[in-house]
Structure 1
Amino acid sequence: MDTSKVILEVKNLSKVYTTKKTEVKALSGVSFTVREGETIGIVGESGCGKTTLGRSIVRGIDATGGEVLLHTEDGVIDFLKATREQMKKYRRDIQMIFQDPYASLDPRMTVFDIISEPLRYNGGMSKSEIEQAVNQIAEQVGLNKALLRRYPHAFSGGQRQRIGIARSLILQPKIIVCDEAVSALDVSIQAQIINLLEDLQREFKLTYLFISHALSVVRHISDRVLVMYLGRAVEFADTEDLFSAPLHPYTKALLSAAPHPDPDVKVSRIMLDGEVPNPADPPTGCHFHPRCPYKTAQCEREYPPFEEHGKGHFAACWNLSPDGEGSGE
């Protein structure tokens, strides 16, 4: 697996929701690259734009601007501008696992029909070929094929998430967006699903975008991590670099809030002033400045560029000193 090969580029992706009274910028100029075979963790507080980012990439919702460049055997395709025929062809390459294993499955369809629906939609396979493919993927995700004619209500949360995973894999995609894929599950079941995702990644050479608020899970599964705040990317780095030496003040506060597995270890919690701003009325300049202990006058006036500060470590902050601490004014 060539992890140096870029498989996806997200460039200046934006999403604006317009009402009669205001505009809400759910995404503002988010850019990052994804290499083949890696897992990108996407983290941030609730409302930071993680799910909007994932759904915009797969065209579950229509982005307002930017590019999602999918590297295919036919060349580089802007997924956001793909024609109907291109969508039918390249939709196979990028799939999504949804957060809620209850709401994401049609209760009126059998599990067999749910998993086989993408194959039937794309056509080109006989009934026997479809049945063979569904039975095979069910076995690979740990579902008993004898239960495939049952309806979703007969399954537990963990089993339902396995059904969702099987559905996303049936077309043999290259990229899967996992939107809080384990957050609705019990902790013991979470571990099973995480192990399953890792096994499937090795077996099928998958690339993951793993959206989560569980930092311990993100650290375990991710190769690189993208940190978001109020619709913008504020930091992006290799997982160990980000967790051991975060640069952005928001990332530091986010990591300090994560519980430590050893109760005897005292963690210095960074307390932020105020609350997450209203995305319909964001602060001027850097959106984080009202809560930042290192803010300066420049922070209040101008939004900082998302730039590289060391090999592969990107951050958007005006006041980074060499050790990553805010320098103040």
Structure 2
Amino acid sequence: MFDKLEDLLVRYDELMKELQDPDVASDQNRFKKLMKEQSDLTPIVEAYKEYRNAKQNIEDSLTMLDEETDEEMKEMAKEELAESKKRVEEIEQQLKVLLLPKDPNDEKNVIVEIRAGAGGDEAALFAAEIYRMYAHYAERMHWKVEMMSVNENGIGGFKECAFMISGAGAYSRLKYESGVHRVQRVPETESGGRIHTSTVTVAIMPEAEDVDVEIDQNDIRIDVFRSSGNGGQSVNTTDSAVRLTHMPSGIVISCQDEKSQLKNKDKAMKLLRAKLYELELEKKQSEEAAYRKNQIGTGDRSEKIRTYNFPQGRVTDHRIKLTLHRLENILNGDLDEIIDSLVTADQTAKLANMNED
């Protein structure tokens, strides 16, 4: 590990010199690439420099203990030694985490797809609440939310919806949300006051660029049709809705939220690209099944990951056995405690895997 850190330190110094070169500054693509590399290395280099300082402090304290005769100074040296040893252990752990292989998708925007599962209208109402939870979280993170497609049930619920969240590190924070979200509560439609259990499926997909997945236009059938639902302003009076069918995979995407057929087609293509990219990732991940067996990572969408229990005001994440009695806050987008715990659990599992190897 320390040989690698020394190499990274050398590379960091090289980068700093390159970035000051006027020829590099005039080449925007190269400059951006080097800036990204420098930004990625900075936290590792800073932690390693602090580690080296703490190691030096240990040596200085030991020397002082050997040479010093004044008892008060010796006591100070002992305190400094204990503090530096503790700090060295902390930074070693921090460096191990920083050196874990990065998920190449972490900095990407995400496309979130929410579908009502078991529970009829109650599941659709909860799907709309889950959408609002992520929209509020995005707002807290200063990310942008753009609805791509939505199929409403007429009483304020979503049978399904897809939306994009754009912002730095969106995928790194939200990738743990894929899976089945379960709600337990008395539905408004229930006269007997019995608690019902309903489910919603969430899929988190990194936004895919053209370079991530190539789509042959000959593989796509495009149909245009008249939008349905709450339209007005010509949304449901012209053939602006678009349906894409990707023949090789059988994936069908419909978008009808925009008045413009071109905009609906653009959104549908983004969604199709993300779904095809996700299929590629799933295939790759299944090949790495042994490596992923202990990981939290991106959950299987059939896995029950979380329960929102209204009578008890609690939210439980089943993967890490975390229960929080702050249901209302969480549904209002206060997700950091859950996500931070998932990130920590995932890093711990990866470190354990590396130690096994």
TM-score class, shorter-chain normalisation, is under 0.3
**Greater length-normalized contact order (CA 8 Å, ≥ 6 residues apart):** 1
TM-score by length of 2: 0.26
TM-score normalised to structure 1 length: 0.28
- In our comparison, the structure showing a higher alpha carbon Rg is 2
